[in-house]
Amino acid sequence: MPSRVLVVIPARIGSTRFPAKALAEIGGLPMILHVYRRAMRLRGADEVLVATDSALIKGVVEADGGAAVMTARSHRTGTSRVREVASRRPHGIVLNIQGDEPLFPVRSVERLIGLMQAHPRLPMGTLAAPSSDRRDYLKPDTVKVVCDRNGNALYFSRSPVPFSSKVFLSHIGIYAYRRSLLLRYPDLVKGPLERLEGLEQLRALENGFTVRVLRCRSGGIGVDLPEDLKRVEKRLKSR
């Protein structure tokens, strides 16, 4: 019998570069609702929840008919917040979809769910999209990933890798975890590569876990700064 799938959208009220980002409006709708409504379209997801440290965010989601749960304010990462939710539920597969990804690729996430269902021993999966944008290749905020011939991640980096490449894989910050790994994840040893790059997904690689990278045609637009909202609105209008 296939494992049940839990989708968790972590959303905290505080943000160093963009406070209350989850509530920033895009086309008159708070960003967290764009993400939640999109997640509700996912085929194969048994439950979708917003995990937050803010009663305000929780209230916005519930007023729209959505489901949200309060989590501890002490969490430093989205993964840790998602783990708290997963620890209370029996689902065998848990997806972490960031609350600042209002245009995440639905069909690709569905393929990621299918991949985890088809390979019950696979501990973790994620997404990446080919890109030839030179500015993104050189930009530290764009995380690059290199893979082996089987599609397993070899390394994630903020640096332009592979060296002098015309086409690279741009990582999309959506993760599928086997519950057994997720419950252990925040307690795994934080290695030197994770510390250098500031990328939490390197913890899996440094502790010997396979991370399968599923390629998709294109990613969404992550919202890191207020100016990114205009890019999302432009994309929505073009659709």
At 106-122, the pLDDT tens digits run: 999 999 999 999 999 99
Give the containing element (helix H, strand E) for 70: strand 68-70
At 158-180, the pLDDT tens digits run: 999 999 889 999 999 899 999 99
The two three-digit tokens of residue 79, written as one number: 């993964």
For the chain, the residue count is: 239
Instruction: Answer whether CATH 3.90.550.10 is correct for domain 5-238.
Output: yes
Query: Which residue type occupies 210?
Result: T
pTM score, whole prediction: 0.93
Local structure of 65: helix, strand or coil: coil
pLDDT, residue 225, reads 65
- The residue among 226 and 99 whose pLDDT is bigger is 99
At 8-43, the pLDDT tens digits run: 999 988 776 777 888 888 888 898 999 999 999 999
Pairwise CA distance, residues 75 & 8, whole Å: 15
At 132-159, the pLDDT tens digits run: 999 999 999 899 999 999 999 999 999 9
Percent of the chain with pLDDT over 70: 95
Residue 223 banded pLDDT, cuts 50, 70, 90: low
